Amino acid sequence: MKITISGKNMAVTDALKDVIKKKMGKLDKYFFEDVPVDITLSVEKSRQIIEVTIPFSGAIIRAEESTDDMYQSIDKAIDVLERQVRKNKTKLQKKSKGLETIRFENFQALPAVENEKEPSIVRTKRFAMKPMDAEEAVLQMELLRHAFYVFRNAETDEVNIVYKRKDGNYGLIEPEF
């Protein structure tokens, strides 16, 4: 894996880099060497946050963890990533379609859990999307008390999504086709 580590509101020390590379070594057995891994470390008040993003074969595995200790956050994020990879092994195999990014021979099967149902789509919604700007979409989202809102951007005529972030601000997703 090609690991890129960056810091936001903090300096990334060599000790942190060494710990991260060592801990990410647990995931080496699942991925080939050329898979990029983007890791961002940040500090917000007393929260130590790590965000790990692994894009491969058109999919993305992502983990974000925060605690009051960066080393605990790193451990939690690595555990989350490993659990995601192991849990979604068959879905990832179908998605990768023979692309050389994941080494599936190193997966161990998770123990079977009785009465565990696969998540499924249980409801479909259809709604008309009138063109609006992002600020109006945020207002609509707040009025509906939702965490996100899908709308047609009046400027670009593309489908966009606004969402409420954990820090209280808003995000805008503009898909690229």
pTM of the model as a whole: 0.60
Q: What is the pLDDT of residues 16-31, one digit of tens each?
A: 999 999 998 888 877 7
pLDDT at 106: 46
Domain count, the chain: 2
Last residue of a domain, one of 65, 89, 106: 106
In the sheet that holds 131-132, the strands lie side by side as 131-132, 148-153, 159-164, 170-173
How much is the average pLDDT of 56-66? 79
Residue 64 near residue 80, CB atoms below 8 Å: no
Q: What is the pLDDT of residues 94-145, one digit of tens each?
A: 555 555 555 554 445 545 555 667 778 888 888 778 899 999 999 888 888 8
**Type and span of the H or E element at 115:** none
pLDDT at 91: 65
User: CATH number for the domain including 147?
Assistant: 3.30.505.50
By the 10 Å C-beta count (0-12 exposed, 13-18 middle, 19+ buried), 111 is classed as exposed
Residue numbers of the domain that contains 93: 2-106
Q: What is the pLDDT of residues 66-107, one digit of tens each?
A: 999 999 999 999 999 888 877 766 666 555 555 555 555 444
Average per-residue pLDDT for the chain: 82
Q: Is the same domain home to 39 and 84?
A: yes
Write down the residue that tokens 């690595």 correspond to: 78
Q: Is the same domain home to 50 and 136?
A: no
Confidence of residue 49 (pLDDT cuts 50, 70, 90): very high
pLDDT at 29: 79
Distance (Å, whole) CA 148 – CA 165: 9
Q: Is the same domain home to 94 and 8?
A: yes
Q: Is the same domain home to 102 and 24?
A: yes
